[in-house]
């Protein structure tokens, strides 16, 4: 197996040049646990930890490796090693770490990189109680700021009375992102994903617990590799059967990343990250009377006029304003 099988490109090779004579190896993080990583290198699969200097030099969590990263590794006996450096990323998606600062009661403002060097994200939503347009908008905004492309999968189509209507609703908010229906337990319906599964490309599964990410992964792998959890009948929420991030190599050469479900997804990024997921609002905002219009009570607001004329859904605007405020807080 070659580095290219795990997504190695000229971009990463160029950044590794300065390390070539050190005796160190490039490696990709394929699995993350609490205190160590599993990486794949030309020396095979290794269990590695950070070198002390790397943690000391890091300005924050964003400077430490996550699943999908390419790193510089010093091999050690017993299939072990140390990570000495993190190679630049082609993409990464982050969230504002949930929770509050200890003893201070204030909301935490801290970047947490979820995954790196992802080319495409399958945003998975279940057409059961999980179906929520506002949540899909949130995921689209997250992916929009990452540098990756998005495809939306509406799973459990068999549990929905009118899945085509849901597909149309999502298509209206999805911009250029394709929207597909599927039933992950029926592997034949996953054939619609085949055109996206290109050799050497990294694809991440993203969505809430219980939407069927692990079932989709098992279907694409052709075997039961990930545990599948049940969904509560009382609240429609799934259980966290996936507890860590991991890369899997598919038979056709694509690289698939499974992610634990996230019940809290606080955005991290720039206002510009809304440009794709709320393109029509961003475009109208350019024609408002005031350049700093908040689209609430200001006169001459083109966005409010569009809402009043039924061109934009009020709930969609409310979510846009909510997410914009969230992004603004990360810059304070």
> pLDDT, tens digit, for every residue of 110-165?
888 989 999 999 999 999 888 999 999 999 999 988 889 999 999 999 999 999 99
Residues 26 and 120 in one domain: no
Residues 191 and 223 in one domain: yes
From the number of C-beta atoms within 10 Å of its C-beta (0-12, 13-18, 19+), residue 313 rates as middle
Q: Closest Cα partner for 121 from 186, 213, 232? A: 213
CA distances, 278 to each of 13, 64, 208 (Å)? 36, 31, 21
Give the whole-number percent of the chain exceeding pLDDT 90: 65
Residues 53 and 175 in one domain: no
Residues 70 and 172 in one domain: no
Residues 73 and 120 in one domain: no
> pLDDT, tens digit, for every residue of 165-180?
999 999 999 999 999 9
Is 272 among the domain residues? no
> pLDDT, tens digit, for every residue of 206-223?
988 889 998 999 999 987
Q: Which residues contact 152 (CB under 8 A, 6 or more apart)?
A: 122, 123, 125, 136, 140, 170, 174, 177, 178, 179, 180
Q: Which of 16-20, 272-276, 280-284 shows the lowest per-residue confidence on average (mean pLDDT)?
A: 272-276
Residues 50 and 142 in one domain: no
Q: Which residues contact 147 (CB under 8 A, 6 or more apart)?
A: 90, 91, 92
Residues 248 and 169 in one domain: yes
Residues 133 and 220 in one domain: yes
CA distance 264 to 112: 12
Residues 142 and 250 in one domain: yes
Residue numbers of the domain that contains 285: 278-329
Query: What DSSP state is assigned to residue 145?
Result: T
Is 97 among the domain residues? no
Q: What is the pTM of this model?
A: 0.87
> pLDDT, tens digit, for every residue of 2-29?
999 999 999 999 999 999 888 899 999 9
Give the whole-number percent of the chain exceeding pLDDT 70: 89
CATH code for the domain in which residue 41 is found:
2.40.50.140
Among the three residues 234, 266, 298, which one is the final residue of a domain in this structure?
Answer: 266
Residues 194 and 239 in one domain: yes
**What average pLDDT does the structure give for the chain?**
88
Q: What are phi and psi of 279, to 5 degrees?
A: -60, -40
CATH code for the domain in which residue 134 is found:
3.40.50.300
Predicted confidence at residue 239, as pLDDT, reads: 46
Predicted confidence at residue 268, as pLDDT, reads: 83
> pLDDT, tens digit, for every residue of 68-119?
999 999 999 999 999 999 999 999 988 887 655 444 555 667 888 989 999 9
Domain count, the chain: 3
CA distance 214 to 152: 16
Residues 81 and 144 in one domain: no
Residues 163 and 245 in one domain: yes
């Amino acid at each position: 197996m070659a580095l290219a099988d795990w997504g190695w490109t000229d971009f990463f090779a160029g950044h590794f040049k300065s390390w070539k004579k050190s005796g160190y190896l490039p490696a990709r993080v394929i699995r993350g646990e609490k205190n160590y990583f599993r990486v794949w290198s030309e020396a095979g699969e290794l269990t590695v930890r950070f070198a002390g200097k790397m943690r000391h030099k890091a300005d924050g969590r964003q400077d430490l490796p996550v699943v999908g990263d390419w790193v510089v590794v010093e091999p050690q006996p017993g299939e072990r090693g140390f990570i000495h450096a993190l190679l630049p990323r082609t993409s990464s998606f982050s969230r504002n770490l949930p929770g509050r600062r200890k003893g201070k009661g204030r909301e935490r403002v801290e970047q947490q990189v979820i995954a790196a060097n992802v080319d495409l994200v399958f945003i998975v939503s279940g057409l059961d109680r999980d179906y929520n347009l506002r949540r899909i908008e949130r995921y689209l905004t997250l992916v929009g700021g990452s540098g990756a492309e998005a495809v939306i999968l509406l799973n459990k189509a068999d549990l929905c009375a009118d899945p085509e209507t849901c597909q149309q609703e999502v298509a209206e908010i999805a911009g250029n992102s394709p929207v597909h229906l599927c039933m992950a337990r029926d592997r034949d319906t996953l054939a619609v994903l085949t055109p996206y599964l290109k050799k050497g490309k990294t694809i991440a599964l993203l969505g809430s617990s219980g939407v069927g990410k692990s079932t989709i992964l098992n279907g694409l792998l052709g075997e039961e590799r990930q545990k599948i959890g049940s969904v509560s009948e009382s609240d429609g929420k799934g259980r966290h059967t996936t507890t860590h991030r991991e890369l899997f190599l598919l038979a056709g050469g694509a690289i698939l990343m499974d992610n634990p479900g996230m019940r809290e997804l606080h955005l991290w990024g720039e206002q510009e990250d809304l440009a794709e997921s709320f393109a029509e609002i961003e475009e109208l905002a350019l024609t408002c009377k005031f350049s700093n219009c908040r689209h609430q009570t200001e006169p001459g607001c083109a966005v409010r006029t569009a809402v009043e004329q039924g061109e934009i859904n009020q709930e969609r605007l409310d979510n846009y304003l909510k997410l914009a405020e969230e992004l603004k807080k990360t810059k304070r």
